[in-house]
Amino acid sequence: MSPASSRLFEEAKSTIFAVLFVFVSTTAIAQPFYVPSGSMEPTIQIGDGLLGSKYPYGYSRYSMPFALGPHSDTRLFGKNPKRGDVVIFRLPRDPGVVYVKRLIGLPGDTIRMEDGRLIINGQMVPVRPAGTAKVENSDGSSVTAARFMETLPGGVDHVIVKLDGTGPLDNTPEFTVPKGHFFMMGDNRDNSLDSRVPAEEGGVGFVPAENIVARGDVVVGSYDFLNASAMWNWVSAIRWGRFFHTIA
């Protein structure tokens, strides 16, 4: 092999190895995701970039790039996500769309809302007032919402916000989570299209285990793009305080 051919071979080999490394790392370890909506405010803000860990839940075809792999009701090296986890998943009625919500209901659980309060397996989930929080609207404006700490069965504490005491999803029928499925809700309870709305009505419905992609672990960066239309606002729209912010 001539020196020129040898050099081309080494460059090609390096490129192949780089591509394989990216493919393996985004398949087996973690993957970045971008959040364009406010359904998980204040935990996750519009414009946050998340890093989702794939290995905690095992793997399915939706953990693979381009959803490669066969359909299966089980996950390779699978572990069930825990109640209270922030979960990244493919929308069941349109797997090309990625959502992020909090896991509220496990298989076999009954879930319903009554006057804005979450009831799991017949027990009202305790909440306590925690001041107020600013939440951003889709037009870039913000409003003040009541902030609460909610304690899920098992002891996970997390923040929710309420904009309205009598929102359209504050009273629901009772849902029973099927085997191999999960019930997801947004922390911004009055502004979240989630499992409270059945898939046939344009909502999320129950999420199959196969559709779970990753656990949301950390905000790696954040940019308030809704308020950065003018050039002089581009730098100030970077939310430096949210870089490497742990999701809880």
Write out the catalytic residue numbers.
Answer: 39, 101
3-state secondary structure the chain: CCHHHHHHHHHHHHHHHHHHHHHHHHHHHEEEEECCCCCCCCCCCCCEEEEEECHHHCECHHHCHHHCCCCCCCCECCCCCCCCCEEEEEECCEEEEEEEEEEEECCCCEEEEECCEEEECCEECCEEEEEEEEEECCCCCEEEEEEEEEECCCCCEEEEEECCCCCCCCCCCCEECCCCEEEEECCECCCCCCCCCCHHHCCCCCEEHHHEEEEEEEEEEEECHHHCCCHHHCCCCECHHHCCEECC
CA angle 94, 43, 208 (to 5 degrees): 30
Long-range contacts of 227-234 (CB under 8 A, 24+ apart): 227/140
Question: Which amino acid, 59?
Answer: Y
Contact in structure between 196 and 203 (CB atoms under 8 Å) = yes
